[in-house]
Structure 1
Amino acid sequence: MYQAGWSKRQLPLKPQGYAMHGYGQWHHRAHATRLPLMCRAIVLHDSHQQHLMFCCLDLGYITHAIREGICERLGASLGRDFNAEQLVLTCTHTHSGPGGCSQDGLYNLVTPGYVPEYVEAIVDTASQTILDAWASTEPTDVSLSVVRFDNDTPVAWNRSLIAYNQNPEVTPLDNHHTHLALDRSMPVLAFRRQGQTQALVSLFGVHATCVGSGQKAFDGDNKGYAARHAEQQLEADGSRNPVAIFAQGTAGDVSPHYHGPGQKRRRKAIHGEAEYQYACRNGEFQSTLALSALEAVGTAIAPHRLEALLSYLHLPGRKADPAYADGNGEAYTSEPCHGVPFFTGTPVDGPGMPGILAGPAAWRARRLRRKRLINVNDPGYRDYQRLYLAQGAKDILLEAGRKQVLGYPLARLPLPDFADPLVAEMKRQARLGALNQSDLVPSVLPLQIVTIGQMALVCCPGEFTTVAGQRVRDTVVAQLTGSGIEQVLLMSYCNDYMGYVTTREEYQQQCYEGGHTLYGQWTLAVFQTGFAELARQLRLPLEQRSYDRDTRPQPAPPTELTLRCNIKPPGA
């Protein structure tokens, strides 16, 4: 039997008019709080003095700044009992949570800037919640059940069906069946004392975008409402201080809004107060299914040694194993680049740049590509070749690695400031020198696998599409076959955020998800290569394991970060 404890606390974040993270819209600013944002944690101990800590926050993203701050606090409090590899940080990906929590420049432009007050509050609250859970451990039974949404439950739809249908392992569907183009199963871990469920972890992939960019309040969205509903039900059944974590599976191409004929009309009919009601209903669908899993016997998780491996990969310029790259022995990633579809957004969940601008932007991107690749005498020719080979079908608008937009340095972008406040803020920060040495987006990303008994959990940064996530699971399963691991699950939005990961086939369609797969068409293959190696290490005895434990992202230069800190939001 494991020793387990759990706890929850509200995140004490004061709405101050800063933009929220998720939609990237200048007007999407928090002036109030609707459903409080929460931090929930579960801690496990085994008989070998090994530990696992799971912490889920009602945020849009986990950033390296958040993770490093929490690790520092826990290390100071727990001393030698704390091992950073044993900490899993994840989030619900609500789009109604605070921005300004990353030290990387791009995702903070809309906020505007870095908000250390928010990061400090999140770090303080998460650290204390984990320590509370640590202090509350008692003998606890752990079990796993897997349940599935009925096909007619209106909880999730695939928002990029044209891309999904390109995958050879799926049965193509028409746009009347987008609700079937996703993983409708929900694994549920139950934590019981004296036969009574006191805590649970649910994994189901669906975007927390029920509440749109027109609203002005912090809100937990569907995952937050699911947790509240489940905890209320558990408490009504006699549980004391229950904790229900509703984390994400493969949510990259999965929307909580209907996608199919008439999708825009149906989305427009849900606005204002109706968006919060819709989020609550979607959350209750998830909660009801999770609670139904508790009625089944489930599979008992044997109290074996807890294991955790964490390794950071520098993504740009990394070669994929040909086994995951269609046999291609020269499949490399590149410096991060954002395609035109990233800026146009998604048609239902989060529209972006108007289509009338997207066509000219794509034309200019292709023109720049031709110009760069035709001049073999250009000193940068080889670099351009590698870039475009990796990025493939993407019409590159922003080269985040080079810090250029359509070939122009950020500070000299020939677009007037009045045309777009986000562009104006980017140019302002670039002119100040606030982005000279700072990364625009993360390029060093965490890969993590943890095991509880006969179950392994693959912890992925960012947003993996349905099929991309399935391929990662299949990769890890193949490596762990015969090791005693009987079930492999996947949790996304873990430990850092860097956009999306699609399959190579999906990438060619350049929907929003492909445009936001930053490192090019072989990104998934490189992640599979990394996770396969980590899984192989997991099979080795402790003393024989040899993997990179040292690589970490470089912090932003303090002088540049200061220039991007505490920028007053519009109207403040």
Structure 2
Amino acid sequence: MAKRCGFSGLEILLMVLFVAMTAVAVGFIAYTVTQQSSESRDQEPTPTPTPEVPAIPYLIGVGRADITGPVGDVPFMGYANLDQTAGGIHMRLYSRAFIVDDGSKRVLFVSADIGMVSQRLRLEVLRGLQAKYGDLYRQDNVVLSGTHTHSGLGGYFQYTLFMITSKGYIKSSIQIIVQGIVKSIERAHENLRPGRIFINKGELEESNLNRSPHSYMNNPEEERKRYNGNTDKQVVVLKFTDMDGDGIGMISWFAVHPVSMNSSNHMVSGDNLGYASYLFEQDKNIGSLPGRGPFVATFASSNLGDVSPNTRGPHCLNTGESCDYLNSSCPIGGTKMCVAFGPGNNMFESTRIIGENIFKKSKELYSSTKQEVRGPIHFAHQWLNMSDITIQINSTHTAKTCKPALGHSFAGGTIDGGGALNFTQGAVEGDPFWDGIRDAILGPPSNETQDCHRPKPILFSTGEMNWPLPWHPVIVDVQLITIGSVAIVAIPGEVTTMSGRRIREAVKKELESSHAFANTEVVIAGLCNIYTHYITTYEEYQIQRYEAASTIYGPHTLSAYIQSYRGLARAIAEGTEAELPKGPEPPFFTDSQLFSLLPLNPVDKTPDNSSFGEVLEQVDPVYTVGQVASVTFVAGNPRNSGDMTDKTFVTVEKLHNSTQTWSVVHTDASWETRFHWIKGTSGLSNATVEWHIPQSAQSGFYRIRHFGHYKEFRNLKPVFTAYEGVSDVFKVNKRIYY
């Protein structure tokens, strides 16, 4: 048998096919790897690791303190309705402070649950800070902003118009606010630690409505086309963390009026923005009672001047029909019958819905933020005489601001709170009847002031009214702070949507003229440092709706502010902030010059054969989650309790069967409780406490307690005595048993 020394034809064919297939496979793999490598170079995937830690971190401090004040008899600040006085608590009010230090400069931003920051309030806070910290916190690096809740206490102004609409200067009210703001700053100062800041922004729909669309439409068409709507939908969030990435605080800005709680409300409330803060802090401070815990979240005001939360729009109360588009009035009942509603069926539900919307969007942005804020801190500040500013309109023309004055439409109110009598929005002519009464009592406006304010028909020429004190301020703060690429413009009033856009654009352009600023995020912080009513565009001013009638320095008010803020931004961009002229300082009137129209509260009395704290209407023995437990006590005036900051008029307590002890599950700061104080006659009053039992409530036994003080005279001197009352024990079930 012969030996094989070669390969058959079939074997050779198979070997060739194997080599060829291997070559193809290797080539395909090489091609695939090459393509993937090429694509990865062209389109790098976004990495998700923690951003690089800056070489020199910021020092960051956050703090919160109670500023609720005396919740009986004191008028609210917002609707200018003397009948809307405090009678209990829906939610407690807080000041929230944020300090940022870059190693060489420091800024402080405070957002407080109040109607607005008044000049008097700012001056007293700065005096308190000066006494404690010297020159560390000053008018140029401290921004005080009000959330603009219309359900906070008044009485903290030093100008006559505001004192008249809040029954004067009420020391017990302003002292609590000043002390609370200073305490929130102290806590932030004590908590300073190395940390980081991140920024994020997004759009929130169906949570705000332009309440003066006719005015907005008078802005140039080409300008309006640059924006998606007649309100700003943008939410801007600053996230503060420690160096380990753990959150310590948050600021959110969104343009909406906190007027979900309407003028019929008598319980102190933070309204929709206050509720958003409540939700965020409760979410982060798990297990803490409201107002407690280390995490601080504030929802600050922005360019909300013409923005309502009442998204179902204005309708006539008596007919259900839509109000007149031009002047927001009804055929029968006028402006008082024209009221905006929604989105809920009552003010509490509307507050909840809007607050939840803002909270959820802000939480989403907070959780997803990746863009870190880095860079040095700057600040610039000036005082301006806003009644006498010359504005360069163009290369050949100038204009001037005016002495303060309010127009007829100021008395017409808005769809969030209509005026009385026969005043309407959109009035460009005076009314002989009311003008005659004004002239007889106050004297007519000067020709100069009338000419300066045209087409506004002047109702009150407040800049020419100085008895017993000036009726309006003329010395006004303008201020700008920057933290890295974030610029916060402190606006001394309520700026409309388009006015805010113009200010943002002007500041951004001026800052970015310097190579030190790029991709700057400019935020409008409203109602800061001093209150000067509204700021509309020149075009909106011509329509003379409420916002324009309340633009007190005339048609060129916005132009004057833009000119001033551009100057501040230019100084920061060029590093010449220290060279800015300070301007004329504002007055600080002595207590003896101020007046109060709030009478002393009378001696408290009880019904026959009863005592303070005794139950008048008892709770039911059994409730189910979703129901309301209610109890009514014999009460004293809450004003008798003095400083109740960080305390409570109400507790809801749960029994622990194993130890037979009680623990507090809710206070009067809780969303779930409502403390109604009802004033009777001849010193009699009572307090009704409601607990809206949440679905999260555990089954078990509960009780409601009420704390207060009553006033009596002993040896001709007032004496305030503490009392407390407690309901029967009642059971809460998770579901109904049959």
Q: Scaled by the length of structure 1, what TM-score is found? A: 0.84
Distance 2:248 2:470 in 1: 42
Secondary structure class of the residue paired with 1:362: coil
CA distance 1:391–1:268, shift in 2 (3 Å) = closer
**Greater helix content:** 1
Query: 2:362 pairs with 266, 279, 290, which one?
Result: 290
Instruction: For 1:115-514, list aligned pairs within 5 A.
Output: 115-150=170-205, 154-168=206-220, 180-193=229-242, 194-236=244-286, 241-258=294-311, 260=313, 262=315, 265=320, 274-302=346-374, 304-323=375-394, 329-346=397-414, 348-355=415-422, 362-364=430-432, 384-403=446-465, 436=467, 438-483=469-514, 484-485=516-517, 486-514=520-548
Give the letter aligned to residue 296 of structure 1: S
Contact persistence 1:319–1:333 (CA under 8 A): yes
Give the letter aligned to residue 184 of structure 1: K
Alignment of 1:40 onto 2:71? no
Tell me what 1:65 maps to.
120
Secondary structure class of the residue paired with 1:473: helix
Alignment of 1:78 onto 2:133? yes
Shift of 1:502: 0.1
Distance 1:6 1:547 in 2: 30
Query: 2:558 pairs with 505, 524, 532, which one?
Result: 524
Contact persistence 1:333–1:522 (CA under 8 A): yes
CA distance 1:197–1:56, shift in 2 (3 Å) = same
Distance 1:269 1:182 in 2: 17
Secondary structure class of the residue paired with 1:310: strand
Shift of 1:454: 1.7
Contact persistence 1:437–1:557 (CA under 8 A): no
Distance 1:352 1:524 in 2: 25
Shift of 1:66: 1.0
Secondary structure class of the residue paired with 2:481: strand
Distance 1:540 1:172 in 2: 32
| 1:443-482 superposed Cα distances (whole Å, 9 cap, x missing partner) | 1111000010122111111000000011111111221123
CA distance 1:99–1:365, shift in 2 (3 Å) = same
Give the letter aligned to residue 31 of structure 1: G
Contact persistence 2:312–2:341 (CA under 8 A): no
Distance 1:356 1:274 in 2: 27
Shift of 1:295: 2.6
Secondary structure class of the residue paired with 1:134: helix
Distance 1:272 1:260 in 2: 12
Shift of 1:171: 7.0
Report the identity percentage: 26
Contact persistence 1:337–1:398 (CA under 8 A): yes
- Structure scoring higher RCO (CA < 8 A, sep ≥ 6) equals 1
CA distance 1:454–1:478, shift in 2 (3 Å) = same
Secondary structure class of the residue paired with 1:291: helix
Tell me what 1:413 maps to.
none
| 1:475-497 superposed Cα distances (whole Å, 9 cap, x missing partner) | 11221123233222211111110
Secondary structure class of the residue paired with 2:368: coil
Query: 2:143 pairs with 68, 88, 95, which one?
Result: 88
Contact persistence 1:365–1:396 (CA under 8 A): no
Distance 1:200 1:530 in 2: 29
Distance 1:118 1:104 in 2: 16
CA distance 1:357–1:186, shift in 2 (3 Å) = closer
Secondary structure class of the residue paired with 2:74: coil
Distance 1:138 1:489 in 2: 25
Distance 2:343 2:92 in 1: 20
Contact persistence 2:235–2:254 (CA under 8 A): yes
Distance 2:219 2:416 in 1: 23
Give the letter aligned to residue 244 of structure 1: A
Contact persistence 1:365–1:397 (CA under 8 A): no
| 1:528-555 superposed Cα distances (whole Å, 9 cap, x missing partner) | 111111112112335x742222522112
Give the letter aligned to residue 156 of structure 1: N
Contact persistence 1:390–1:522 (CA under 8 A): no
CA distance 1:367–1:13, shift in 2 (3 Å) = closer
Secondary structure class of the residue paired with 1:39: strand
Tell me what 1:560 maps to.
593
Shift of 1:236: 4.2
Tell me what 1:24 maps to.
80
Shift of 1:240: 5.7
CA distance 1:15–1:513, shift in 2 (3 Å) = same
Alignment of 1:548 onto 2:581? yes
| 1:336-368 superposed Cα distances (whole Å, 9 cap, x missing partner) | 11111111101x201012336888982329988
Q: Which segments of 5 or more consecutive residues in structure 2 lack a partner in the other structure?
A: 1-56, 323-338, 602-678, 684-738
CA distance 1:228–1:565, shift in 2 (3 Å) = same
Q: Scaled by the length of structure 2, what TM-score is found? A: 0.65
Q: Which moved more, 1:232-241 or 1:289-298?
A: 232-241
Distance 2:230 2:546 in 1: 17
Secondary structure class of the residue paired with 2:262: coil
| 1:374-412 superposed Cα distances (whole Å, 9 cap, x missing partner) | xxxxxx99x945323321111111110122xxxxxxxxx
Distance 1:182 1:170 in 2: 16
Contact persistence 1:116–1:566 (CA under 8 A): no
Distance 2:377 2:144 in 1: 17
CA distance 1:47–1:314, shift in 2 (3 Å) = same
Q: Which moved more, 1:209-218 or 1:252-261?
A: 252-261
Distance 1:360 1:456 in 2: 37
**Greater strand content:** 2
CA distance 1:74–1:362, shift in 2 (3 Å) = same
CA distance 1:558–1:75, shift in 2 (3 Å) = closer
Tell me what 1:411 maps to.
none
Secondary structure class of the residue paired with 2:107: strand
Give the letter aligned to residue 320 of structure 1: I
Distance 2:590 2:344 in 1: 41
Give the letter aligned to residue 311 of structure 1: Q
Shift of 1:330: 3.4
Choose 1 or 2 for highest CA Rg: 2
C-alpha root-mean-square deviation of aligned residues, in Å? 3.0
Distance 1:59 1:400 in 2: 24
Give the letter aligned to residue 294 of structure 2: N
Secondary structure class of the residue paired with 1:508: helix
Distance 2:222 2:384 in 1: 30
| 1:162-207 superposed Cα distances (whole Å, 9 cap, x missing partner) | 000111156769xxxx993101001100012222322110011110
Distance 2:428 2:505 in 1: 40
Secondary structure class of the residue paired with 2:382: strand
Contact persistence 1:42–1:54 (CA under 8 A): yes
CA distance 1:365–1:309, shift in 2 (3 Å) = farther
Give the letter aligned to residue 89 of structure 1: L
